[in-house]
Structure formats: structure tokens, C-alpha cells
Structure 1
Amino acid sequence: MRPRGSRIGGLARLAVTSAILLGGLALSQQPGPASPPAPDAQLRDTSDGTDWPGYGRTYGEQHYNPLDAINAGNVARLSLAWSYDLGPGNPASIPVAVDGVLYVSSGLSVVRALDAATGKLLWEHDTRVADVAGDKLRVAWGIRGIAWWDGKLYTGTQDGRLVALDAKTGTEIWSAQTTLPGDGRFITGAPRVFDGKVIIGQGGADSADTRGYVTTYDAATGKQLWRFYIVPGNPADGFEDEAQAMAAKTWTGRWWEHGGGGTAWNAFAYDAETDTVFVGTGNGAPWNQKIRSPGGGDNLFLCSIVALDAKTGRYRWHYQVNPGETWDFNAAMDMHLADLRIAGRMRKVLIQAPKNGFLYVIDRTDGKLISAEKIAKVTWASRIDLATGRPIETPGARFPDGKSFELWPSERGAHSWMPSAFSPKTGLVYIPKLEAGAIYSDRNVDLKNWKRPDHNAPGLGETFDLALKDPLQNTSALLAWDPVTQRKAWSVPTLGGFNGGILATGGNLVFQGEIDGRLSAYAADSGRRLWQFAAQAAVVAAPITYRAGGVQYVTVLVGMGTTAGVDARALGGVRIDARTQMKRILSFRIGGTAALPPPPETPPLAAPADPDYRPDPALATRGGALFNLRCVACHGIDAQAGGTAPDLRSSDVPHSAEAFAAIVRDGALVENGMPRFGELSDAELAGLRQFVRARAAALCTSR
């Protein structure tokens, strides 16, 4: 043992002390334990793309991911990693992917969590929509997407609930009823989250006296924070805010008795820098302005992009794409936020291709129009006046004095709900463009005494005929458009009059599916097809891409659903059998080794023998009118189904009056999504049954 006072001991103690001090200093300069990422880290437009947590991935709703491990150079080696078979119901939905887990809502808002690398089911939650939706089962097909925020998932339901689930277990955390008792509102769009809030709108303007609104809830608790009405209510009741009082000046007559419409059923975007939420609003209720606002007027805020303060819901500005809209030209299509160099300076813009056939570039700070040009055949307007922002309408486009007008685009729109995408890398917008026209008229409509049909049946206040003889009718394309020059960059034709939603990536790729089951990857800069996969089912929803376990995946839901199946004439000759077409999740990676089983054989379209059938044209005509009110949305125009629901011409159920009544009136198949029509009388059932049997007989004759 050394003496305490020895020099060696002192030096040793000094060295130890110095080391401790220096070490402590070094440790104090080291960062502490890494803080968990903010809940919105992957929702920011600048995020690295590891996750896909929202409908359009980020706040800016670009449907773009910067990931480039799958790219134009190696996409030829992209192959199936896994697949998962879904149950019955609408599969046209966009999933989200967070922390290696894929979340999907399909059918009647059945939510599933799967391991994103293997497809293994982790949990399933059924919101039991069929038990409570009642008449609202008649007007839609399910939800198009979900949202994620801070360990929670959010889904809407057809009966109007907004439901929050624990992302780890699928357990319900809270549920909020977003609609009002006895109303016709229903949810088909994806919720969006921003800054700890979740926003949702509804549909319903085509089938009920609906006044559109959007509501924002606390994402953690479900407490309602604010609500913004898209059209004003009855002035005698007072207005909710100054924006409603301003909007009321643009309406005439007793519009509130018809609801007014404006439902925000699909499109939202969020600018975190200015804390602004943008809402894309819907068409009028009814469509025909001569009924809902007989003295004219712009009818705010129909068919508009409305900017709201995200904290309070207060109105900031609006831009209306169709003042006084009367054709179902809603502005509920995707809105992309981008920063573009225009005329030598950077502009913060919002880009939208709504239904009406123009692509708009708008300054998102003040709502001023920068440019607008036609992307498809347009007959209702010659151009958009850049000074006023208003369209220069074609004389006769509003079918005055009982006349008709050939309208392009039709109510399907030059761009429907299938998402477009914007790539900051190429600077191009990618649009699933549609071409179809229709003959519009209100010749046989009693404009002064018009009343909406009951029980959530569509009531438009006008008629339209889609059976045009035109080379463009029921065609479509993947269109790449330069929003700065407002010119086409390239275009690739797609099959029929509908096509799928778009995904753009940092790997110079654009993915899109078609109704015949082809899923393709194109070079984003040139449109050259680089890869294709036979999905064995219609591809209507947009794909997403993300990383799981360090590997990039591309995932898409396949199977026919929503509006694409209403008119079988628009399917390019493809016949989709609702009973046999698979509804699946397909997930791809470079070097995947999975394979799909052989596709189920599609039975020939044939009417079973019906020896007791006797023609009764008058009864069939009455039944056909009822079919158009009650059944066409699922079973197709003239009972020619497009894959959303079974083709009734090939069913033997109508042969039996008892079986037909048990399903149609008594609700024997409600659990399968077939609504109950309890209000139908025996005479009405007989007419419906006769119409379907007559259509089956015509099928036999045509063959």
C-alpha cells in the first residue's frame, strides 16, 4: 500500500479525477436517448417515404413516394411477394402502411391488419355496418380508404360513424356519429388526419335532401372540435357564421328545402405551414339548378375548393370551378399541394383535375387562379377566364326551354374519384382520364313541383343518356400533364371507360391498373411501359408503396367496386362476374417468389330456364322504372351488371315470387350487403320481378 502523500498516488488520483471530469464533460455533450418521432413525421411532404400513413401518403395528397429501391432500371424483376383473399364487398380501397404493418378497410368497413412483409393476418375488426345502416346500404358500396395517427386507425362507415381503432389490437377506442338522425348522409371517403385532428365529410346529395358539411374531431378522444357547412341553411334559422351569410346571397328560392348538396365525400389536403385545410366540395342537391335555386346564382360553396383555418374551421377563401353547377361536375377529386416555378418565381399551388374536364392550378395562399386548361373533350365551356376565374359557358349548355344538350364530359367526369398523382421529381401530374359524353335534358321534369323520391333513391331533377355514338365514348387513358405549361407530356390509352388510380414514385415510375386486370408500371418521364402483372381482377384502386424490414413493397387491392361497375358498356367488352372474381390484396417486391392460384373459371352469362315466364310489357316497364330508382347502382343499367353485384339476368331467384320477396323485401341477404326494401308493395315487387325476367328473356333471345 502506497503512502497517501506519495507523488505517484497524487498523480494517479489526478489522472483518475481528470478522466472522470473529461468523461463527464464528454457524456454531457452526448445526446440523450432518441426522442420518439412526432406522430406526423411520415405525414409531412418531406418525409422519407418509409411509411404510407394516409390516403395520399402525406398532407399534400400527392400520391407520391420518394422511395427508389424499385425503379425504372429494375422494375422488370418486380414480382409477387404475397397475396391475401378478402371477403365479399367493395375492394376499391387504398390501404395504409406504418411500422411494417399494412392496414386495410374493405367491404362494409371491415378493417384488417397484416404483416406487411408476409401478409399474415394480425387482427380483424368488423364495424357491423349491415346491422345498423338500413336504407343507407342502398346508396354506396363501402369505404375507399382509412387513416393512421399516433397508434390509431380511423375508418368511416356507411351509416355515418367515424371509428378509431387501436392499431396494435384492432380494439375500438372511440366512435363518433358524424351524421344527424334520419338524414341521408353516408361516408364513402377516407378520413384525413392533421395536427392531432381527424376530418370527415359525407356523401348523400344525389339520394337525399342533404346539406353538406365537414366535421373535425380530436384524434385522441373523438370530441367534436368544429363543423363547417358547405351550403347555407334556412335564413330564418340564422347562419352559423359569416361565410354562410355570404354564401346565402348566391342562392335563390327555397333551396334549403332540397338540402342544397355540396357534400365533401372525398378530397381533403392540409398545408402545415399555414395551418390550412382544403376541402373539395360536391354537386348540388338536386343536380338541376332550376329546381334548387330557380333564380340562378353561383350557389356557394358547391363544386369548390374551400380553404379553412385548421384550428377553428373558419373560412379563409374559396375557388369555385363551376358557379351555379347543374351537371354533377363536383370538385371532390384529389387535390395535390406543390411548389412550382411559374413565370420565373416559385408559387405555392394547389392542383386539381375535377370532373369538368379542366386542370386547375391555384395559388393555395389566396385562392387566385393561375391557369386552367382542358385535358379532355369539353363542350360545356370554351375556356376559363383567367381574369375572373370563371368559365365561359357554351350557349345551351344548361339545356334551356326543354331542349337537350350533348355534354362532355358526362357525369362520370374527365376524372372520377380514382386518385391522380403528382411527382415532384418529374413535375408532372398523372391523371386517370376518362372520355364519355351524355345527352342532358329536363324536358319531362316538372320543375315547379319536383319532389325527391323517398327511401334514399336517386333524385337528380334531370335526365341523361350515355348511349352516344362517338369514337371517344367510353375510352380512357393514363395522362401525364405538365401543370406549369398546361400541356400534355404523354398519354397511354387504357381499356374501356374506366381505369385505376395512380401511384408515382422516386424510382421514375408510375403504377396504374386497368379493369381487365392488368397492373402496369410506366416510366414516369416518358410513359414507356416497363412491367406488367396479370392481377386476375379489375384494378380500380390506387397502389401504394412503402418499406417493411428495409425492403420496398408495392401493394394494391384488386376487384371491381364502386361506380365503375354501374355501366357495363364502359368496361371495354370485359365481363366481370361478381360471384367468381377474386377480391384480393396483392403485394410485390423485387425478387418475390409467390404466385397466384389459377383464376376461377368465369361462368358464361346465361339465363336459366324460366318455363313459367310470360311477357307483360306494361308490367315490365313499371318494374324497370322502379329498378332504375332502387337497384341500378349495384346491379347495373338495364340489369346488365358490371361486377359490383351479381348479374340478375343469370339468377333463378326471380323465378320464385317467394324467394324474390324474401331477399328484396324481407332482407334475407342483408349480411352480404344486399339492402332490404321493406317499403315495396306486392305490386311493386311483381313489377321488379317481371322486369328482371324480361331482361333475362332478352338475353336468351340475343344469343
Structure 2
Amino acid sequence: MASAAMLVAGHPGSAPSVHRSEPAAILKDGSDGANWAGYGRTFGEQHYSPLDQVNARNLGDLGLSWSIDLPPGNAVTQPLEVDGVLYFTTGYSVVHAVDAVTGGELWTYDPHAPEAAGERLRRSWGSRGLGYWDGRIYTGTVDGRLIALDARTGTVAWSSQTLEDGDLRYITAAPRIFDGKVIVGHGGADSSDARGYVTAYDARTGEQVWRFFTVPGDPAKGFENAAMAMAAKTWSGEWWKFGGGGTVWNALSYDPETRTVFIGTGNGAPWNRKVRSQGKGDNLFLASILALDVNTGRYKWHYQVNPGETWDYNAAMDMHLANLRIGGKVRKVLVTAPKNGFLYVIDRTNGKFISAEKIAKVTWATRIDPKTGRPVEVAGARYENGQSFELWPSNSGAHSHMPSAFSPQTGLVYVPVAEAGLVFTDAGLDLANWKRTPHAAYDVGAYPAFGPSTKLPDPTSFLVAWNPATQKLAWKVETPKKWNGGLMATAGNLVFQGQADGQFNAYDARTGKRLWSFAAQAPVLAAPISYMVGGRQYITVLAGPGTSAGVDASAIATTSDYRTTQRRVLTFAIGGTATLPRPEPADTTPLDDPDYREDTASATRGARLFGQCFSCHGIGADAGGGVAPDLRRSPIPLSSEAFAAVVHEGALVSQGMPIFPEFSARDMDDLRQYLRSRRADLRSANSQQMRAGS
């Protein structure tokens, strides 16, 4: 990929027109659907297209129009389309512009984010999407930059650093642009003392307009506003020393009628409330929906889905704005399905609770009290007195960051639901003196499933269609294993969704019947979009592995190898006749390691060190999700020199492999020993299978 913006001279799409007269027109919920200019298409984040040229009657004629092969790197990212140009990111915020009709490349911009990220690179998989406003494309980077690019040429208009020097926050979300302001948050509460905030920048200049902190800081330094003073009353101890959390790492919505920005906040830092707040208080504004004034960032109201959050239960999932008839009256509502297993309907004018019901298996609470809007928790859910608790949904959520969708045509919300459990305990931890482990990828003040646990049922997943007005299930379709893809609903009475097994599907939006499927040859977890160019409706989705789906191979439908799994942009239209090349079988046999000698003590120490690596390379170093190489098959651990060049000296930083200078010589030997032992285990398992087959 080019390291700077590249314009393809003479290409028919190389000088796209841009909307300058009314930048908000194509982002309003009532827009015609010709463009998909925002992450959820419009300010209301419905992930709904009003186009109906592609519909249930002609789906049989829907075919591949064109495709583009992509290099290794995160492909779970959603594109945008404006005026016949498709924009998307790959890997670490590498931005591409291509002709939406032909796939011809127009320009590419690489911010070289891995090289600038430092330790932040250990905690992020890359960008999930882009923003568009008035002729510019906006992207955030793992090193914290917010960058505005000219949509015609890919040249940098401005770049602003949104994070503080030396912290371990990072940006993965798509920037949102509301009323001429670029709104961006960050992640980082799972592994650092992060105090969450969201910041607005002038879309023209990149100058900061306002910043709103989501949790209070040190009272001795004073509070930024009355909202922080109010929130501080819900915390105990010296919480600010742990940061507190509440990062705004994903969902944002906007109501232009009231000029209100809706912010979804994340989990506590650390997760365990007994550590960060002496086990006391609601800990505002963790796991909350916040309403802020778009011009000033002033607090309007909040609703907290998990008071005293202690399970990594984010409220940072999609927030759909809709008008629903409830109890004979049309209500202006916000609909959201956060991690905790309930689907909520909230009055978006004042934050008042309307209703919530379970859409997945839930063990931590019996219901949401209709009078107070607070959950009725199950005894023991906070793993008290050193006891363990079997938590459903797990910390990865009944609904993760793969987008849900709302169709104003059917009145239904469509949610990619995961059914997975997790055992929590903090037994054995010195909670009074707990401190973060330096450099740890995850350090949360408790033991989730990556520590002591009991055997739980294998994960499953579903595509769920839910009526938010009645809080009733409309239909449900089982999908492969745990991870299923982001969603788009259309006025053609269709719902499009990809799966981890490589199928890209279309369902009847009212019944759930699968009407169409395309074999993408790679996991399809990103959300699709739809748009109209030259009177023809197109549907585009990115295929390929990425994000947290790569952590546990048992949670995906098929193994995806980092080096051989295809990553592609796929674009469909009625009458499309393009085909994908036949996939070449890959030789994934692990290399022989004749010098290997078993050393259990060394391998055990190496396994503990590998705790900093599993979020990319997978539990057990198997990288079954394909976001990073399977180290059991990699030649690099076979050579101490090659291993040092990568791990100590950063030979592969540009490809997303972080540097670990803190590892000692013994650490390096132990880590290599562990990886070589995992290689030996794989070779042994393969030999047993061959003998069984013969």
C-alpha cells in the first residue's frame, strides 16, 4: 500500500463531487439512501437503507459485481459511500477510496499508525470505520490521532492528537460528525488507568471545541462541571487512582431536532468495583447512555444500564433513534442492546426508562424494575466473599460491537446475539492492595474465563428480530458458533448479515427465512452498506477476520489462518456476474523442530508471559480467528535471533506486531519454549489424527 495519498490520474471516478451546500442533508434520517455517509448511514444510526431495488422478489438475480483483494490486517470494518466513491479502512486505519461501480482504486492513505503507537499497539486491532462531512473523510488511529482527509485526493487537511502523552488509550471507533463537529472517544479501560472522555473538534480546522469526562477525577483538583460533582457522590475510596473507566469506544448517535449527542459509555477500570470503589456506589457514568449538548458538551441527562458495573458490561453498543407507538402514543425513543443481555427502550427527550427485556440468557439479573429502571440483581452475581459466579452473558456480551439494525418499515430491531458464559471470581486477590500488572494486555481485578473456571457449554449465536414497542421476540435464527456479523436492514424487506463460516446471507425481514447466500471464502463479521449509483443499487461488505473474534478459536465456526485467509471488499448488484477465484489449499503443517527438548517449568513460565499476547495470537497461541499468525506454525520461534528481532527489536511493527523491550533474556527463552511446546502438541495431535485415519 502507498505510504501517502495517491490519486489515480485519469480515472473516471478520480474527481468525485461532494456535498457542500448542506453537509447534513445526506446524514438525516429521512435522506433518500443514495449515499451511505455515516457509520449507521444517518444521525439516528439505524443501519437501515430505504432502497428497495434489491428485494425478496429479485434476490435470485443478486450477484457479485466486483471484488478487491486486501492485504493481511483487520477487515472487520464498515465502509462509507458518497457520490459514487467507496471509502474504507484496512489494518491500522489505512484509508482507501475506490470507484463504487468498478472497484478501481482512486487513492490510498497510510497514517503509519503502528510505528507511532508504541505500547498502545498491544491493545488494538485497528479501525472499525470512517466518518464523512462536507468533502472530507475522517479517521482515528491507534496512536490517538484524528485525521481529516480531502475526499477527492486523500491529502491531509489536518491532524489532531486526541489523547494524552504517555497514556495507553487508543482509537478504534468510526468518528461521527454532528453539526460540523467531529466527535471521538477512545478505548483502553481493560488494561490501563483510563479516565474516559469524549471530545468534539471543529470539522473544518481540527481545533478542540469541548471535552466531556465520563467519570469524575481527583476531587482535590476540582470538578470540571456540575455533572462530575454529581457523579463523584456515587464513587468511594480513591477511585481516581485507577482511572475509573467509562471509555467511549464505539457508539454515538445524534438528534438534530434537539441538538443532542447520545454517548454510550464502557466498563469500569478495573472491572471489579471492589477494587476501584470499595465495592460501593453506582459509579456514574459507567455503563451509561449520556445526552450532551452538541455545541457545548453540556450534560443533559443520563440512564445507567448497570449501576456499579463490575463485569465489563459496556453500554457502548449501537443506539438507534426511532419514533415508536407505545401504549397508544408515539414516543421519541432510543433503542439499544448493550452487552448485558437486555434490550432497552428509553425516552430520548429526557432519558426516562420505558422498558427492557432479556434477548439472551441472563444469570446476573432477573429483570429491570419498571418503576426505577434499575436491574434486580441475582444474589452472588458480584462474586462476593471469594465465591465464583457463572455469568451469562459473558464479558464479551450478548451483543458486542458488530452493529445491530432498526427497520422503520417493520418496526423491528435486528441484533447479532452471542450466547456464551463465563465464570468470575476474585478469590486469592489482595483487593485492598491491588495494582495493575505493568504492560498487561488485560488486568481487571478479577479472574474471568482466562483464569480458574468450570467447563461451560460451547458458545452459540443467533440473529434475533425483536419488537421494541411490545418487547416481544418476532423471530430468531441460529447462526454458527459464537461470532456472527454486523447487520443492515433495507426497505426491500431484507436483512443482510455475514457469518464466521464465510456465508453472506439475506433474510426476509418479517419472517427470518433465509432467501439468499453467497460463499465469501472468509469470515464476514463486518456490517454491510447499500447505496445507489447511476440508478443501480449496490451492496458492499468487507470479508476477512479481525477484532476480538480471533482470541478464541472455539468461538468461531471455522479456523482462519492469518497468512492464507482472504480479505476482500465484495460488492453486489442485480445482474452481477463476477466470481471469486477458487481458493488454493494451504499447507499448514507445523515445521519440524529437531532441536526441541521438553522443559515443563520453562514452558509454564512462558505461558504466563503469553498472557500479554493472546488477545491477538489467540488462547493457546492458535490464532484461530486469523487476526495474527498462528505461532505454532510460525518459523520465527524456532530461531532465537529471529525471535529477538521481532519481539525485542520491532522488525514487524509496521505490520502490527508490538515490541516488548521489557522481556529479559530468560523471558525470551521461556516464551520461545512455550511456543515450541505448543508446536510439539500440534504435531502430536496431527500424527494421532493421521494414525486414526489410516
TM over 0.5: yes
User: What is the match of residue 639 of structure 2?
Assistant: 656
Q: Distance in 1 between matches of 2:535 and 2:664?
A: 60
Is 1:259 matched with 2:246? no
SS of the residue corresponding to residue 321 of structure 2 reads strand
Pairwise CA distance, 1:602: 3.3
Is 1:666 matched with 2:645? no
* 8 A contact 1:90–1:644 mirrored in 2: yes
Q: Distance in 2 between matches of 1:595 and 1:468?
A: 46
Q: Distance in 2 between matches of 1:626 and 1:360?
A: 40
Pairwise CA distance, 1:468: 5.7
Is 1:634 matched with 2:595? no
1:70-89 alignment to 2 at 5 Å? 70-89=54-73
Pairwise CA distance, 1:457: 2.7
* 8 A contact 2:20–2:135 mirrored in 1: no
User: What is the match of residue 509 of structure 1?
Assistant: 494
Deviations 1:384-433 (A, max 9, x none): 00111100000000001111000000011000000000000000000000
SS of the residue corresponding to residue 482 of structure 2 reads coil
Is 1:299 matched with 2:288? no
Aligned partner (choices 589, 594, 597) of residue 611 of structure 1 = 594
Counterpart of 2:529 in structure 1: which amino acid? I
User: What is the match of residue 550 of structure 2?
Assistant: 565
* 8 A contact 1:253–1:295 mirrored in 2: no
Q: Distance in 1 between matches of 2:53 and 2:76?
A: 27
User: What is the match of residue 219 of structure 1?
Assistant: 203
* 8 A contact 1:164–1:173 mirrored in 2: yes
Aligned partner (choices 345, 349, 374) of residue 329 of structure 2 = 345
User: What is the match of residue 10 of structure 2?
Assistant: none
Counterpart of 2:375 in structure 1: which amino acid? P
Q: Distance in 1 between matches of 2:635 and 2:97?
A: 38
SS of the residue corresponding to residue 133 of structure 1 reads helix
SS of the residue corresponding to residue 608 of structure 2 reads helix
Q: Distance in 1 between matches of 2:670 and 2:277?
A: 35
User: What is the match of residue 63 of structure 1?
Assistant: 47
Counterpart of 1:659 in structure 2: which amino acid? A
User: What is the match of residue 537 of structure 2?
Assistant: 552
* 8 A contact 2:72–2:563 mirrored in 1: no
Q: Distance in 2 between matches of 1:157 and 1:580?
A: 26
SS of the residue corresponding to residue 113 of structure 1 reads strand
* 8 A contact 2:193–2:245 mirrored in 1: yes
User: What is the match of residue 334 of structure 1?
Assistant: 318
* 8 A contact 2:441–2:615 mirrored in 1: no
TM-score, normalization by structure 1: 0.93
Q: Distance in 1 between matches of 2:321 and 2:108?
A: 34
Deviations 1:460-492 (A, max 9, x none): 111112776555x31001110010111110111
Q: Distance in 2 between matches of 1:536 and 1:607?
A: 23
Q: Distance in 2 between matches of 1:499 and 1:59?
A: 25
User: What is the match of residue 520 of structure 1?
Assistant: 505
Pairwise CA distance, 1:325: 0.6
Is 1:678 matched with 2:661? yes
Aligned partner (choices 87, 90, 99) of residue 115 of structure 1 = 99
Counterpart of 2:637 in structure 1: which amino acid? P
Is 1:149 matched with 2:133? yes
Q: Distance in 2 between matches of 1:54 and 1:87?
A: 25
Is 1:283 matched with 2:267? yes
User: What is the match of residue 592 of structure 1?
Assistant: 576
Query: Runs ≥4 in structure 1, deviation > 6 angstroms?
Result: none
Counterpart of 2:285 in structure 1: which amino acid? F
Q: Distance in 2 between matches of 1:614 and 1:450?
A: 37
Q: Distance in 1 between matches of 2:225 and 2:145?
A: 25
* 8 A contact 2:441–2:613 mirrored in 1: no
Where does structure 1 lack aligned partners over 5 or more consecutive residues?
1-34
User: What is the match of residue 201 of structure 1?
Assistant: 185
Deviations 1:139-177 (A, max 9, x none): 011000001000000000000000000000000000110
Counterpart of 2:618 in structure 1: which amino acid? G
Pairwise CA distance, 1:37: 4.3
Q: Distance in 2 between matches of 1:457 and 1:373?
A: 34
Pairwise CA distance, 1:240: 0.4
* 8 A contact 2:130–2:174 mirrored in 1: yes
Q: Distance in 1 between matches of 2:540 and 2:626?
A: 22
Q: Distance in 2 between matches of 1:307 and 1:182?
A: 30
SS of the residue corresponding to residue 501 of structure 2 reads coil
Structure of higher CA gyration radius = 1
Counterpart of 2:351 in structure 1: which amino acid? G
Pairwise CA distance, 1:50: 0.5
Identity across the alignment (%): 62
User: What is the match of residue 121 of structure 2?
Assistant: 137
Q: Distance in 1 between matches of 2:600 and 2:425?
A: 26
Is 1:643 matched with 2:647? no
User: What is the match of residue 446 of structure 1?
Assistant: 430
* 8 A contact 2:502–2:519 mirrored in 1: yes
Where does structure 2 lack aligned partners over 5 or more consecutive residues?
1-18, 687-694
User: What is the match of residue 536 of structure 1?
Assistant: 521
Deviations 1:209-268 (A, max 9, x none): 100000000101111000000000000000000000000000001111110000000000
User: What is the match of residue 399 of structure 2?
Assistant: 415
SS of the residue corresponding to residue 691 of structure 1 reads helix
SS of the residue corresponding to residue 465 of structure 1 reads coil
* 8 A contact 1:138–1:456 mirrored in 2: no
Counterpart of 1:418 in structure 2: which amino acid? M
* 8 A contact 2:45–2:321 mirrored in 1: yes
Pairwise CA distance, 1:607: 2.5
* 8 A contact 2:112–2:654 mirrored in 1: no
Cα distance, 1:513–1:385 mapped onto 2, change above 3 Å: same
Is 1:322 matched with 2:321? no
* 8 A contact 1:433–1:479 mirrored in 2: yes
Pairwise CA distance, 1:455: 2.8
TM-score, normalization by structure 2: 0.95
Range moving further from structure 2, 146-155 or 645-654: 645-654
Counterpart of 2:260 in structure 1: which amino acid? T
Counterpart of 1:207 in structure 2: which amino acid? S
* 8 A contact 1:522–1:531 mirrored in 2: yes
Counterpart of 2:280 in structure 1: which amino acid? G
Pairwise CA distance, 1:98: 0.3
* Number of equivalenced pairs: 665
Deviations 1:481-509 (A, max 9, x none): 01011111011111011000000000000
User: What is the match of residue 389 of structure 2?
Assistant: 405
User: What is the match of residue 339 of structure 2?
Assistant: 355
RMSD of the TM alignment (CA)? 1.1
Counterpart of 2:76 in structure 1: which amino acid? A
* 8 A contact 1:328–1:411 mirrored in 2: yes
* 8 A contact 1:559–1:581 mirrored in 2: yes
Q: Distance in 1 between matches of 2:69 and 2:662?
A: 36
Aligned partner (choices 173, 181, 192) of residue 165 of structure 2 = 181
Deviations 1:617-671 (A, max 9, x none): 111111111101x201100011121211111011222121111111111111111
Q: Distance in 2 between matches of 1:327 and 1:127?
A: 35
Counterpart of 1:632 in structure 2: which amino acid? F
User: What is the match of residue 87 of structure 2?
Assistant: 103
Is 1:702 matched with 2:685? yes
SS of the residue corresponding to residue 431 of structure 2 reads coil
User: What is the match of residue 3 of structure 1?
Assistant: none
Is 1:481 matched with 2:481? no
Counterpart of 1:699 in structure 2: which amino acid? L
